[in-house]
Amino acid sequence: MTDRRHLPSLSALQAFEAAARHLSVKRAAEELAVTPTAVSHQLRRLELDLGVRLFHRRPRQLLITEEGQRLYPVLRDGFDAFAKAIRSLARSERKAIVLSATQAFAARWLLPRMAQFRARFPDFTLHLHASDDVVDLRAREVDVAIRYGHGNYPGLAVESLFADTFFPVCSPALKVRKPADLRARPLLHFEWRRTGPKTPTWGRWLKKAGIERKDTPSDVVFSEESHAIAAAIAGHGVALLSSLLVQDELTRGTLIRPFGPSLPGFHYHLVHLPETASEAGVVAIRTWLREELAGAHGVRPSV
């Protein structure tokens, strides 16, 4: 008969693992849905149980000790294994998969294609999480995410899906036929959460097109990209938009691309935890997206 395991409190071990991962009591408390005081109490309790110091506490900062560095990877891998086993048991019956994407991408591209996912993978229930905030995949509330950017996502498996392109689009009723017509038409803008020298904005496009035009009172700025798309469809002005997000409207003719040039956008990436690469739900999402992109008119998957 084996000896009974003598282990510290599970809550204390969870508190330590989260605090070591974030190097922050506050962020660990947010993840565990408890107060920072509760996390601090659990950390002190664990240190007393083990008889070693796990953190050096500094104002607004935690520094993990040598003993803590020895304990952390063991707990991290253990909790990951627990979560994977539990997810496998739960998914063996319901086979749910949670996909996170930006609000604009979810509304404009994913939602119209969810029927194809259901038809292609009838044994899965796809839950779509639409948010412009970056989700923590290690929290296990989301299985797969589509992120828009340069592809630098440490600790995650990253697969580039396609490169975006931006160009002017408008309603055919607006009768915009040449770049010079922009001087007499409202321009529709939307706010980027982060901007840089390569962000595809009207200012960069006008410079590339060789057109001098200042913002006018008739121009409109939206906080959400989807609203700029809706305004363009309604004929309220000319918008510089993602070729992917207006793909369906261009095909139907409710929007037109009257002229060039175009500006390169960023890349859409499929990201997930490395250890979930072979899970059936992740494979299903990857397969579905690749098939949809292969059949998408005017959209070229990146390599």
Beta bridge partners of 146: 270
Can you give the pLDDT at residue 64?
92
Q: How far apart are CA 16 and CA 24, in angstroms?
A: 10
Structural element, H or E, at residue 287: helix 280-294
Q: Where in the chain is the domain with CATH 1.10.10.10?
A: 10-90
- Give the right CATH number for 92-163+267-294 from 2.40.160.20, 3.40.190.10, 1.10.4160.10, 3.40.50.740: 3.40.190.10
Q: Where in the chain is the domain with CATH 3.40.190.10?
A: 92-163+267-294, 164-264
Can you give the pLDDT at residue 132?
85
Instruction: Tell whether the model's pLDDT for residue 81 goes beyond 60.
Output: yes
Instruction: Tell whether the model's pLDDT for residue 294 goes beyond 70.
Output: yes
Q: How far apart are CA 162 and CA 105, in angstroms?
A: 13
Instruction: Tell whether the model's pLDDT for residue 136 goes beyond 90.
Output: no
Q: What class is the 10-90 domain?
A: mainly alpha
CB atoms inside a 10 Å sphere around CB 72: 17
What average pLDDT does this structure show over 76-85? 82
Can you give the pLDDT at residue 241?
95
> DSSP secondary structure string, 253-286?
TSSB--S---EEEEEEEEEE-GGGTTSHHHHHHH
Residue with tokens 């006008």: 206
87 falls in which pLDDT band (50, 70, 90)? low
Q: What is the pLDDT of residues 164-187, one digit of tens each?
A: 999 999 999 999 998 888 988 999
**Which CATH fold topology does 164-264 show?**
D-Maltodextrin-Binding Protein; domain 2 (3.40.190)
Q: Which of 141-145, 194-198, 240-244 has the lowest mean pLDDT?
A: 194-198
Instruction: Tell whether the model's pLDDT for residue 5 goes beyond 70.
Output: no
